[in-house]
Structure 1
Amino acid sequence: MDLGKSKVLIIGGTGYIGKWLVKASLEQGHETYVLRRPEAGFDVEKNQMLLSFKKHGAHLITGSYNDHQGLVKAMKLVDVVICAISGVHVGNQILLQLKLIDAIKEAGNIKRFVPSEFGTDPSRMADALEPGRATFNEKMVVRKAIENAGIPFTYVSANCFAGYFVGGLCQYGHNLPSTDSVILYGDGNQKSIFVYEDDIAAYTIKSIDDPRTLNTTIYLRPSANILSQRELVEIWEKLIGKQLQKSCLPEQEFLNIIKVKDYAEQASMNYYYHFFYQGCLANFEIGDDAEEASSLYPEIKYTKMEDYLKQYL
């Protein structure tokens, strides 16, 4: 471990993006701690993952959101806290971070807090459709609490996780790219931004000791990965040497489909609507009050989506 680097506590380390963050923190030489909640011992897969973290040099700390003093004790061991708990379709899960904020305030030593965002910038989603908007609203509640408490922070807007969107060529409910046909949302030309999870974690960890990212938002916008759904399909077609049969799903038809789904599916499909019909990820310029990660850290050789798609050949 590099003694000049911050000590990092990752909460939600066994979650989807959390495991990538643990890996990146260790690879970049940080002394890394992972919160192990007591209930993890009953989940064989999570327990094995935690043991794997330990094998690779991470420290495991048992703690719970309901154990305030235990959280304070954990905070005092580190300099940076990164939260990666999932907020998707889980009522008030994101708001558990308010308990972390209370512990950070009492500990008094944390130099940077990275709350659980890692997707769309919630400050730009006030007009998002319900029920998906609830998650954005909760993230803004957390932001307000962080800033009111005077806790140093970095917000990470990573846009579309490649693992969720790219394999299925952005089609909801698909995880593997078809070699026959594809449904395009609208005309398929709205730009989105796709980032491999390994790169999301690498950029996040790189930012935690950087004064340029203190008390600001970093957007992950690697230039080669700012693509429309149609462009992503064309990359896949080039790789397989075949044209897919394409059909277009009009906006109103997609909205009608959402209406008959259950709560969880409505929330998921809302993201697809905002990304691929409205283009909410790439239809604005980053202002002077924010930073772009691939420009800050050109030494990170991010994965282009053409290379990402090759794994499916």
Structure 2
Amino acid sequence: MELKSKVLIIGGTGYLGKRLVKASLEQGHETYVLQRPEIGVDIEKIQMLLSFKKQGARLVIGSFNDHRSLVEALKLVDVVICAVSGVHFRSHQILLQLKLVEAIKEAGNIKRFLPSEFGTDPAKMVDAIEPGRVSFDDKMTVRKAIEDAGIPYTYVSANCFAGYFVGGLCQVGHILPSHDSVTLYGDGNVKSIYVDEDDIAAYTIKTIDDPRTLNKTLYLRPPANILSQREVVGLWEKLIGKEVHKTSLSEQEFLNIMKDKNYAEQVGLTHYYHIFYHGCLANFEIGKDGEEASALYPDIKYVKVEDYLKQYL
């Protein structure tokens, strides 16, 4: 049987990162987690790292501010997955990965790099409005550096994280579903795609040794989870046995609301704008440079939106 790749996960204590560590261990990979000194005395992250160690992961100290430590960590593995958060838009945290690209070039042994993306495919967002396009632009800057360096890669487009979108019936600022009312974006009929976070991790780990995904984008499009906001609300109504009151927010009204928000909020709202008014996640066909995860890995029984909603009953 072919040996599984050794994996280094950067950002392992984060929202998705901890799930990537779990999935990597479950799928039988020798798993390393970068322990960054920057976490300081954050006791919860320290305890999480120790729990990874108990589960069989290996901790390796390294920092984006210490090039040599990154190189030495990379030399221990075959594959590196970065899951650093991109929410700190002003600090362009995603661009920290440019330091990782330099370290990968020097180490010379990495067979696959999966940079921190896991959302909307930035290559499809060239027409995104300001200021939200900053996150797409930063990710494309990292992609260019990866490809210019000739580093083997897989990009993962995971679309909408279920915890952030499904729980709040797709409404900004909501993570729990209301039994009474919901605001629809426009007519609520624009299709989007929702994926359980544990499923995102499982699909991601599946791809790292798969030649079919080498130098391609992996799109997570579980067929049952390609739904409009109105359909998500309908599933919730079915579960609770009643209709909720619906109001509609027009495209222009949404843009007007954005103008009064601070920079970070505007960036986040821009993503909602393109997802729920323009359908940016589902309005294109996957071409020859991409693969669809649920088609490649039918053995993963993904969580359907309806089943995800049941936990809120």
Q: TM-score range by the shorter chain?
A: over 0.9
Separation in 1 of the partners of 2:45 and 2:125? 32
Q: Who is 1:117 aligned against?
A: 117
**Partners of 1:94 and 1:116 within 8 A in 2:** yes
Which residues of structure 1 form unaligned runs of 5+? Answer: none
Question: After TM superposition, what 4+ stretches of structure 1 lie above 6 angstroms from structure 2?
Answer: none
Q: How large is the Cα RMSD of the aligned pairs?
A: 1.0
Separation in 1 of the partners of 2:96 and 2:38? 16
Separation in 1 of the partners of 2:137 and 2:87? 12
C-alpha deviation, 1:228, in angstroms: 0.2
Q: Please give the secondary structure, in 2, of the residue aligned with 1:275.
A: helix
TM-score, scaled to structure 2: 0.98
**Partners of 1:89 and 1:267 within 8 A in 2:** no
Number of matched pairs: 312
Q: Percent identity?
A: 77
C-alpha deviation, 1:41, in angstroms: 3.7
Q: Please give the secondary structure, in 2, of the residue aligned with 1:51.
A: helix
C-alpha distance after superposition, 1:123-165 (max 9, x if no partner): 0111112111111001000000000000000000000000110
Q: Who is 2:185 aligned against?
A: 185
Whether 1:34 aligns to 2:33 is: yes
**What one-letter code is carried by the residue in structure 2 that aligns with 1:205?**
I
* Equivalent residues in 2 for 1:266-305, closer than 5 Å: 266-305=266-305
* Equivalent residues in 2 for 1:38-187, closer than 5 Å: 38-90=37-89, 91-187=91-187
Q: Please give the secondary structure, in 2, of the residue aligned with 1:230.
A: helix
Q: Please give the secondary structure, in 2, of the residue aligned with 1:39.
A: helix
C-alpha deviation, 1:3, in angstroms: 7.7
C-alpha distance after superposition, 1:104-128 (max 9, x if no partner): 1101000000000000000011111
* Equivalent residues in 2 for 1:227-246, closer than 5 Å: 227-246=227-246
**Partners of 1:189 and 1:230 within 8 A in 2:** yes
Separation in 1 of the partners of 2:24 and 2:176? 30
Separation in 1 of the partners of 2:312 and 2:104? 43
**Partners of 1:120 and 1:157 within 8 A in 2:** yes
**What one-letter code is carried by the residue in structure 2 that aligns with 1:237?**
E
**What one-letter code is carried by the residue in structure 1 that aligns with 2:209?**
D
Whether 1:23 aligns to 2:22 is: yes
Separation in 2 of the partners of 1:126 and 1:84? 23
C-alpha deviation, 1:232, in angstroms: 0.1
**What one-letter code is carried by the residue in structure 2 that aligns with 1:54?**
K
**Partners of 1:182 and 1:246 within 8 A in 2:** yes
Q: Please give the secondary structure, in 2, of the residue aligned with 1:95.
A: helix
Q: Which range moved further: 33-42 or 142-151?
A: 33-42
Q: Who is 1:261 aligned against?
A: 261
C-alpha deviation, 1:204, in angstroms: 0.3
Q: Please give the secondary structure, in 2, of the residue aligned with 1:72.
A: helix
**What one-letter code is carried by the residue in structure 2 that aligns with 1:303?**
V
